[in-house]
Amino acid sequence: MTALLHPHIVKAIYRQAIDPSASDGEGDAWWSEVGAELSGVLAARTLSEAAAIITWWHHDWSSVGDTARAAARRIRSAGVKARA
């Protein structure tokens, strides 16, 4: 079972790694879902496993040259910093 992150950690990681403009206005349910996925990315054994977790929502960003693997790398890096 993956440990859930505190909401302020979820927001810090997401904003650093994915979208600095993501606001609290997204709502608690949205942030909760994001937190569950970020927890999975951080707990994944490999970068490939981490990328597989977010591939479904990362599809929208592929049009700007980003990849799920690159996003997973940023999330994992931001997670280390946010939890330090």
User: Which pLDDT belongs to residue 55?
Assistant: 85
Residue % of the chain over a pLDDT of 70: 88
17: nearest Cα among 37, 45, 44, 46: 37
Q: Is residue 37 part of a domain?
A: yes
Confidence (pTM): 0.80
Q: Is residue 2 part of a domain?
A: no
Q: Is residue 1 part of a domain?
A: no
Identify the residue with better confidence: 10 or 58. 10
Q: Is residue 22 part of a domain?
A: yes
The domain tally of the chain equals: 1
Q: pLDDT for 9-39, tens place per residue?
A: 999 999 999 889 999 999 999 999 999 999 9
Q: Is residue 78 part of a domain?
A: yes
13: nearest Cα among 45, 33, 42: 42
Cα–Cα separations (whole angstroms), residue 56 to 9, 30, 67, 84 = 22, 15, 11, 29
Range of the domain at 26: 7-82
First to last CA, the chain: 22
